[in-house]
Amino acid sequence: MDVELKAITKRFGAVVANKDVTLQVRAGEVLGLLGENGAGKSTLMNVLCGLYRPDEGQIVINGTPVQFTNPGDAIAAGIGMVHQHFMLVPVFTVAENVVLGVEPVGRLNHLDLKTASAKVREISARYGLTVDPDALIETLPVGVQQRVEIIKVLFRSADVLILDEPTAVLTPQEVEDFFGIVRSLRDAGKAIIFITHKLNEILEIADRISVLRAGRIVGESDPATATKADLAEVMVGRPVHFEVDRSGAAPGDAMLVIKDLTVLRDDNTIAVDNVSLTVRGGEVLGIAGVQGNGQSALIQAITGLMPAARGTIRFLGQDITHASVRARHKLGLAHIPEDRQRMGLIPDFTVAENMVLDSYYDPRYARGPQVQWDAVNQWAATAAAAFDVRTTSVFAKAGHLSGGNQQKLIVARELSRDTKAVIAAQPTRGLDVGSIEYIHSRLMAARAEGDAVLIMSSELDEILALSDRIVVMFKGRIVAEFDANVEKPEKSQIGLAMAGVAA
């Protein structure tokens, strides 16, 4: 089946997400759609799968123009999408998720889950997608959940598969397996659109490449001849430096020392299992691992948001295992949280209010019970200007800023005071390249000033670029440790550790 997007334009209010985009994909090929975060890739694909309606342009399938009013129409037309954030109901079983919307039923509208399970088994056997149809989704690792998503699409006999950033949650080895699946689907005659911002992946899997920047198609290229540097320049619109300057490593004293730390989740299951690690001043420690292996809990325990069930955390020689969030903050612990929209800032508050979110009580801004808003505003303006936060004024709502500027606001708030350690969780997730470079430079500046820097990221490239030392977490434990200053570790080595295979 051939699909063509012709001159698609999609606006959200005044924002133009896609402008005049034309694309086509044929049966039996993989089209790589490359673009950085915020370039409009997901919006474009949501148009193709019927979730959004285009303002202009049309979709043509096998030469016939079609109109989708809802995702059901797109599914009926044979288009299936695996979303970046999985569209699975966690409390349903695999089979229930797969059949949702096209359920086999018996008499009295009775759900026929036996037939559903049988069909799931049949598809998993045919494409080598091993999964237990009766398992609850929430009990499955993300790699398996992704297989369920693909089975879901195949169950609806889709001929066009859209894969939106499918490798974001996978280990390098899982990515290899996943590419195998994609190739076998292509060889079975499916048309595949592979969306990513990762250059090496697109060069490996795509038969053709289209590059999207600021909502427009800015180039097409052939993966056989294109180089990473060329593609990056087209994608960002200027030459990009991949390497972060990490020269001049001068690790000092141990500042953050964690011993035998165990952290429990709300349901009393173990999130962090007997972890010990040390971060010295002037070094960056990177925590690698597949999402959900305890990294978030470790960071929340260090910053005081989750209680430690066992073990100790010492910071600058003091025992802070049971100290409050604020006490740790006062000691000079800066925290750039994982979820900036939910935790890092309050979208309804102004930029100035967000700038003092965790320091409003400080004598600089408060006198007695009162907050001195004049002082706050002055300082917020200074910090915003110094950290390149682009906003109309400090009285604008933080929710109106772009993702990159929101993150820069958080970084400004956390790093512009006297810090001793910086804990950064997913510091650049979902940001454009410009903001990523800026935030990386700020983190390296903190390192140069002698701060202990702890970075957790699901982007292995980011960990490799920034870290002096790397630890890998799997099922709540540290399963491997690498010293990048001695010998730069191979991606595959880290990947194996991420998958729980002992090095």
User: Scanning residues 284 to 343, which ones bind another protein (CB under 8 A)?
Assistant: 304-305, 309-310, 324-326, 329, 335, 337, 339, 342-343
The residue (of 46 and 435) whose beta carbon lies closer to another protein is 46
**Residue numbers 14-43 binding another protein by CB under 8 A:** 14-15
Task: For residue 59, give both structure tokens.
Answer: 């979709």
Closest contact distance (angstroms) between CB of 286 and another protein is 22
Dist. CA 154–CA 181, nearest whole Å: 12
Does residue 344 bind another protein (CB under 8 A)? yes
Q: How far is the CB of 479 from another protein (least distance, A)?
A: 14
Comparing CB distances to another protein, the nearer of 82 and 465 is 82
Compute how many other C-beta atoms are within 10 angstroms of the C-beta atom of residue 38. 21
Element (H, E) at 318: strand 318-319
DSSP string, 206-217: -SEEEEEETTEE
Binding mask 251-270 toward another protein (x if CB under 8 A, else -) reads: -----------x-x---xxx
End-to-end CA distance of the chain: 44
From the list 75, 203, 234, 411, which residue makes contact with another protein (rule: CB under 8 A)? 75
Question: Binding of another protein at residue 83 (CB under 8 A)?
Answer: yes
Of 215-223, 357-365, 416-424, 449-457, the window that binds another protein (rule: CB under 8 A) is 357-365
Which of 192/232 has CB closer to another protein? 192
**Among 25, 81, 470, 478, contact with another protein (rule: CB under 8 A):** 81
Q: Which is nearer to another protein, 396 or 501 (CB)?
A: 396
Among positions 392, 418, 486, 487, the unique one binding another protein when judged by CB under 8 A = 392
Q: For residue 449, count CB atoms less than 10 angstroms from its CB and return exposed for 0-12, middle for 13-18, buried for 19 or more.
A: middle
Q: Which of 256, 380, 401, 498 binds another protein (CB under 8 A)?
A: 380
- In sign, the C-alpha dihedral spanning 25, 30, 31, 35 is positive
Q: Which of 20, 132, 233, 358 binds another protein (CB under 8 A)?
A: 358
CB 17 to another protein: min, Å: 10
User: Binding to another protein (CB under 8 A): which residues in 233-252?
Assistant: none
- Between 208 and 475, name the residue whose CB sits nearer to another protein: 475
Q: Which of 239, 248, 369, 486 binds another protein (CB under 8 A)?
A: 369
One residue of 210, 377, 426, 457 binding another protein per CB under 8 A: 377
Instruction: Give the nearest distance from C-beta 183 to another protein in angstroms.
Output: 25
User: Using the rule CB under 8 A, is 169 a contact of another protein?
Assistant: no
Query: What is the distance between the alpha carbons of residues 322 and 325, in angstroms, rounded to a whole number?
Result: 9
Is residue 13 involved in binding another protein (CB under 8 A)? yes
- Region 414-473 residues binding another protein, contact defined as CB under 8 A: none
Tokens of 243: 């390497």
Burial class for 430, CB neighbours closer than 10 Å (0-12, 13-18, 19+): middle
CB–CB of 401/390 below 8 Å? yes
Which amino acid type is present at position 83? H
Sign of CA dihedral 489, 492, 493, 495: positive
Among the listed residues 341, 282, 340, 336, the one whose alpha carbon sits nearest the alpha carbon of residue 456: 336
Q: How does 353-372 read in b/e, with b if 16+ C-beta sit within 10 Å?
A: bbbbbbbeebeebbeeeebe
**Closest separation in Å from C-beta 208 to another protein:** 26
d(CA 370, CA 360): 10
Quick one: 102 or 142, whose CB is closer to another protein?
102
**If binding is defined by CB under 8 A, does position 384 make contact with another protein?**
yes
The count of C-alpha atoms lying within 13 angstroms of the C-alpha of 163, restricted to the half-sphere facing its C-beta, is: 32
Kindly identify the residues of this chain, within the stretch 87-146, that bind another protein according to CB under 8 A: 87-92, 96-97, 100-103, 105, 108-111
In the complex, the smallest distance separating the C-beta of residue 333 from another protein, rounded to whole angstroms, is 11
Interface size with another protein, residues (CB under 8 A): 86
Instruction: Using alpha carbons, list the distances in angstroms from residue 87 to 169, 174, 194, 413, 487.
Output: 14, 20, 17, 34, 40
Closest separation in Å from C-beta 361 to another protein? 5
Which amino acid is present at 376?
A: V
In whole angstroms, the minimum distance from the beta carbon of 268 to another protein comes to 5
**Which of 64, 225, 247, 370 forms a contact with another protein (CB under 8 A)?**
370
Distance CA 28, CA 38 (A): 29
C-alpha distance from residue 196 to each of 29, 41, 168, 429 (Å): 16, 9, 9, 13
Question: Using CB under 8 A, which of 273, 283, 432, 468 touches another protein?
Answer: 273
Indicate the residue among 88 and 431 with the shorter CB distance to another protein: 88
C-beta of 282 vs 427, nearer to another protein: 427
